[in-house]
Structure 1
Amino acid sequence: MARLPIIVGFGGYNAAGRSSFHHGFRRMVIESLDEQSRLETLAGLGVMTGIIKGDNSGFISTEGDSLSLKDIESRFGKQILDATLIRRIEPSYFDVDATPWQQSLTLATDDGKTRFLLSRRQLPEVVPATWHVEDYSDTHVSITLADNVEVKVDSMRDMPVKSAGQLPSGFDPALLYNSRFHPRGLQMTIIGVSDALHSMGITWEEVVAAVKPDEIAVHAGSVMTQADEYGFGGMLQSRLKGTRVTAKQLPLGLNTMPADFINAYVLGNVGTTGAATGACATFLYNLKQGVESIQAGKARVAIVGSSEAPITPEIIDGFAAMSALGTFEGLKKLEGTDNPDLRRSSRPFGENCGFTIGESCQFVVLMDDALALELGAQIHGAVSDVFVNADGFKKSISAPGPGNFITLSKAVAAARQLVGDDGIRERSFIHAHGSSTPANRQTESELFHRVAEAFGIEHWPVAAVKAYVGHSIGPASGDQVVSALGSFHYGLIPGIKTIDKVADDVYAERLDISVQDIRKQGLDVAFINSKGFGGNNATGVVLSPEVAKRMMQKRYGDEAMAQHAARSQAVEARAEAYEQRALHGQFDVIYSFGEKLMDDSQLGITDATLSVPGWDHAIEYPKDTRYQDMV
């Protein structure tokens, strides 16, 4: 019997805000929330953005006067909402109207008389053949050009892409811990996984005490590496800028670093680790690793996630050169105006012109069902399967193929065995990749239509959260997963509110693609779909908390579930205490640099076990019978 991977905690940050306790989800459906949830969502975002402040006594304005929740909405509500979701790229990233670049110039000689002075310190080690160098002074030399010379000068140019899904305005991960020289993607890793761990309501020490050192797995990574000045971006720019590479830019730039940072500076993990990369399906690739390690009994706890900070001129230039991103000119044509609404840049399944890039960090904590029961863990849902398939031969690396038909069909068939025909036909929904490109709206909707037809599904609700937070590349399917958990909790499926109507070429006959939030209680399963460049297709099956509990009850019985419910009261209370601290701006970021270091000499090594300092249980060497009939 396979162990069921239970989601016992989740957290992170994207353009909608903090993920734990469904805050980011609530921002996306804020028009449909009850008053208390709406007001608390605004308050939490207000503190994150610095528009208001929070302390133990409540909320205050930046001027110091006390604020009620209704005061926050009436006085600052619009300002808070405007500071979230997709919007014009802010100057703290770069100036989209005057983005720095190096312009190449050819300096021509004027009858061989072109002459200039140069500091001796700046004289190249290898002097160009067309330069005639003469002494001028103790500090300078005189250069006469014998021919044309190519030079580069600092310049500016307009960026055709002007919007992105940025973290809430004013929220700076670097200020939440000692983040010196950390690329932004790794800063987001630290704060995102901290949020997920605190959301559990179970301390990490309690988890460590319950399992063996090699029963914890961490699977997390990024796709675009760490591309800012503190990672690969700075390293690759250094020669062109005439600066020196630092000792940290290469190692911190690696796309495996999110997992490495979690192990080394958050958990102190000595178990399994790894970073699977699958373009836009990267979060699901890592989720597959974590799910399968728990199902096989190789891990009892798995931290799964991804972090990406791709809002840089270089990455935007790259996607724009592929005609993949929605440009300002493209949006002007769509809206028939010179001043298009940049907050509606991403328009899945509507008339669109390309995707909108975003940044995000998303993490889930998985436990096997027995451990979740033992520790009284919260049950936010379960992940029964993640399917991954390639596209086969392709005429274009970015073109779709048959792989996604395979992953979604297998996912629906697998879910049907758990929730029945009624479960997939009446109580399931899809979280579409929904990238907002003209090609995607046709190919993905055709995929949904044909699978729905095969399984007898007539009105399949479709969500596409990239309409709100943009396309965060690696963590994109993580954005979808945490949103799906919100739908289970609130009975709301986010509508695609950035479109006026579904495009005419969308296969919508069997789909429910709404421009308003869909109210649907009793949801059983969410299908998380992702289509990545290069044929990296993945579909995950996320089960609702009710389905997960029902399955656990059948396996363990009523008495065991009653005991779990009793234990979980204290767990939920501790989680709620963190929620209140975070709501008021205390995010409790975990970062242990140079602390709790292990002494290798204290390892206890025998021929049967290996004990690790700080762990209650020893590692037991596996008894391998796989090849017994061959030896």
Structure 2
Amino acid sequence: MANFLPLIVGFGGYNSAGRSSGHQAYRRMIFESLGQAERQHTVDSLAYLMDKPGAEESTVLNGTLVRRIESNFFNVENTAMGKKITLEAHPEEPARFIIAGKDLPYPLPDHWAAEPMDESGKRYQISIDSNQTLTLSCTSKMAVQAAGQLPSGFSPGSHYRSQHHPRGLQLAVLAASDAVKSMGIDWKVVADSVSPDAIAVYSSSVMSQLDSTGFGGMMQARQLASRVTSKQLAMGLNTMPADFINAYVLGSVGATGGVTGACATFLYNLRQGVEDIRSGRRKVVLVGASEAPIIPEVMDGYAAMSALATDADLLKLDGLNACDMANHRRASRPFGQNCGFTLAESSQFVVLMADDLAMELGAQVFGAVPGVYINADGHKKSISAPGAGNYITMAKAVSLARTLMGEEAVRQRSFVHAHGSSTPHNRVTEAKIFDEIAKTFGIESWPVAAVKAYLGHSLGPASGDQLMASLGSFAHGIVPGIKTIEGVADDVYAKRLHISNVDNNRGAAGCEIAFLNSKGFGGNNATATVLSPSVVHTYLEKHYGKKQMAVFQQSQSVAVEKASSYLQSADKGELNPIYEFGTDLIDESQITITPDAISLPGYAQPITLGDDEGYSF
């Protein structure tokens, strides 16, 4: 039996360039290549998102993409930290201080003596007769001061009832809603068209939720003398981006999961969705990842690995003095002279749908994903170093495209979205892989994009950022240039690659196949093959016939019109995310079970039982 083709029928999300649906974020990345009308539309829509309607173009542009960390996160010049100090005891006189009775620790630390100063016990005099180590609350300057933050002024939690939700989960709710609404088909219509068990959600985060409302607050509570809340542990879990979507956005009882693979996490989840749809096990899958890692502790962790671009190293690259201000806008420089990557926050989701269901519902088609490949590196000396696995994933992805569309299509109409982390090691090793693959498949000048130059490295959703940019290239015919570099570094293998610091306008006909590449710590390599809407149109017409295709295209107009209405509202800052808390709960007493099916109240179709899973005994 033929496989079902996983079509992209909706997409959405938020990153430092803006909203993904309607290609807003993509247009911000190719802003210099837009006509005046599209420029103004992009500025106006971003201004509404930033809660600054009518803002000048310079204000909007400066408040997007990679830039200096803003004060709503923390003060990079005075970031809170603890410092241990040792108080030396006077050889003849013990140290004394007064403390409130309610603050008196129990049991008393060694070498402390406490004397009540009154009968009420409200105040005590403490005497210390030996050296004492204390931790003081103070501040320090962050060595890394650049990040890919959401557009300045955009507060995801203000758009729905988000009390106690970590920022990563706020982003997941908004991004998943954006993707679902971009379809132009009511979710209930989609859900009623299939068995509840034919729907799946695959999403996760790499770093979990580490801010104060998640694991961060829980892990620091004792040392900060605060109390752990009942929500911090549960909301900190890295599977929560999927769990929140099932519970509060879709109301799904279908398959769910959160696959993680370091920086390749989005593609790991995408592969799970693609395999489900290809096999016919699922008909609709929402795939994504969400990450909000711009907190001092996470930045300290990556900085300790010498992985991040510090201000000091950026100054050295640009030949500036220590008293100068680093160019934070150009902190991320893939394939150029660089010194480390730049952390970013993002949440990206796509709605995958089997081609037969898409034809039935008149869904829009933004692309298709026929295959995602994942391979490890084998034996390694360093867990963070790149290895052989990425040669395999890239070769498989390109080979698939050649098998499906022919050599000429791969050579002339494909482009690559590089992992492009902006580290000196990555620029050499990843370019070498691309160059070898290009040589193998006869590619002479392969366009290479690296959107981390604009957005920074969002960890789990990073390949989601790449996918959204690819969908933009399919629509506009422009592969974004790497505009933060002056030129390609001398040690980069680029004989058969086209790496440019200006946008590459190839036209829609020259942007038919995208290869999304990701290289994660630990040997988590993944590459996806993504096909344009024009390629999908040819496929559908061949498989369903011109007559049925004409009916399908006519039925798409309803979805297009409704999606357009949503995008117009979103461009005015009216996001109205789907958030159903405590509504339409399933009455478990009304669940009906027979040997052949299980029916749930509120769901149009039953879940059939009795699948033999392909076995015969």
Fold match (TM-score > 0.5): yes
The correspondence for 1:560, drawn from 548, 561, 564, is 548
User: In 2, are the aligned partners of 1:97 and 1:159 still within 8 Å (CA)?
Assistant: yes
Output the CA distance in 2 between the equivalents of 1:560 and 1:549: 12
Name the structure 2 match of 1:535: 523
Q: What's the CA shift for 1:339?
A: 2.3
- SS at structure 2 position matched to 1:118: strand
Q: What's the CA shift for 1:622?
A: 3.8
Counterpart amino acid of residue 617 in structure 1: Q
The reply on whether 1:582 has 2:570 as its aligned counterpart is: yes
1:540-585, CA deviations, whole angstroms, 9 ceiling, x for partnerless residues? 0000111111111111111111011110011100000001111111
Counterpart amino acid of residue 62 in structure 2: D
The reply on whether 1:471 has 2:441 as its aligned counterpart is: no
The reply on whether 1:241 has 2:236 as its aligned counterpart is: no
Aligned residues: 608
1:192-250, CA deviations, whole angstroms, 9 ceiling, x for partnerless residues? 11111110000001101111110000000000000100000100110110000000000
Output the CA distance in 2 between the equivalents of 1:559 and 1:603: 42
The correspondence for 1:136, drawn from 108, 114, 117, is 117
1:285-317, CA deviations, whole angstroms, 9 ceiling, x for partnerless residues? 000000000001110000000000000000000
The reply on whether 1:212 has 2:198 as its aligned counterpart is: no
Name the structure 1 match of 2:31: 30
Q: What's the CA shift for 1:623?
A: 2.6
User: In 2, are the aligned partners of 1:419 and 1:524 still within 8 Å (CA)?
Assistant: no
Report the CA distance shift for 1:255/1:625 in structure 2 as closer, same or farther (over 3 A). closer
Q: What's the CA shift for 1:627?
A: 3.3
User: In 1, are the aligned partners of 2:51 and 2:573 still within 8 Å (CA)?
Assistant: no
Output the CA distance in 2 between the equivalents of 1:340 and 1:14: 23
Output the CA distance in 2 between the equivalents of 1:106 and 1:126: 21
Q: What's the CA shift for 1:396?
A: 0.7
Task: Map residues 538-549 of structure 1 onto 2, 5 A cutoff.
Answer: 538-549=526-537
Name the structure 2 match of 1:365: 351
Name the structure 1 match of 2:101: 120
Name the structure 2 match of 1:503: 489
Output the CA distance in 2 between the equivalents of 1:465 and 1:125: 54
Output the CA distance in 2 between the equivalents of 1:6 and 1:627: 29
User: In 2, are the aligned partners of 1:349 and 1:434 still within 8 Å (CA)?
Assistant: yes
Output the CA distance in 1 between the equivalents of 2:447 and 2:146: 28
User: In 2, are the aligned partners of 1:162 and 1:328 still within 8 Å (CA)?
Assistant: yes
Output the CA distance in 2 between the equivalents of 1:360 and 1:476: 8
Q: What's the CA shift for 1:625?
A: 5.9
Name the structure 1 match of 2:75: 95
User: In 1, are the aligned partners of 2:377 and 2:388 still within 8 Å (CA)?
Assistant: yes
The reply on whether 1:339 has 2:333 as its aligned counterpart is: no
Name the structure 1 match of 2:432: 446
Q: Which moved more, 1:150-159 or 1:133-142?
A: 133-142
Output the CA distance in 1 between the equivalents of 2:7 and 2:63: 34
- SS at structure 2 position matched to 1:388: strand
1:226-281, CA deviations, whole angstroms, 9 ceiling, x for partnerless residues? 01000001001101100000000000000000000000000000000000000000
1:322-366, CA deviations, whole angstroms, 9 ceiling, x for partnerless residues? 000000000000111222321000000000000000000000000
- SS at structure 1 position matched to 2:458: coil
User: In 2, are the aligned partners of 1:435 and 1:466 still within 8 Å (CA)?
Assistant: yes
Output the CA distance in 2 between the equivalents of 1:36 and 1:596: 44
Report the CA distance shift for 1:518/1:613 in structure 2 as closer, same or farther (over 3 A). same
Counterpart amino acid of residue 179 in structure 2: A
Output the CA distance in 2 between the equivalents of 1:243 and 1:598: 37
The correspondence for 1:487, drawn from 473, 498, 505, is 473
Name the structure 2 match of 1:395: 381
Q: Under a length normalisation based on structure 2, what TM-score does the superposition of the two structures give?
A: 0.98
Name the structure 2 match of 1:277: 260
Counterpart amino acid of residue 492 in structure 1: I
- SS at structure 1 position matched to 2:82: strand
The reply on whether 1:293 has 2:244 as its aligned counterpart is: no
- SS at structure 2 position matched to 1:240: coil
Q: Which runs of 5+ in 1 are unaligned?
A: 53-60, 62-71
Report the CA distance shift for 1:293/1:622 in structure 2 as closer, same or farther (over 3 A). farther
1:18-43, CA deviations, whole angstroms, 9 ceiling, x for partnerless residues? 00011100000011012222211111
Q: Under a length normalisation based on structure 1, what TM-score does the superposition of the two structures give?
A: 0.95
Output the CA distance in 1 between the equivalents of 2:432 and 2:226: 51
Name the structure 1 match of 2:64: 84
The correspondence for 1:252, drawn from 212, 235, 240, is 235
Output the CA distance in 1 between the equivalents of 2:343 and 2:114: 49
The reply on whether 1:407 has 2:393 as its aligned counterpart is: yes
Output the CA distance in 1 between the equivalents of 2:268 and 2:107: 49
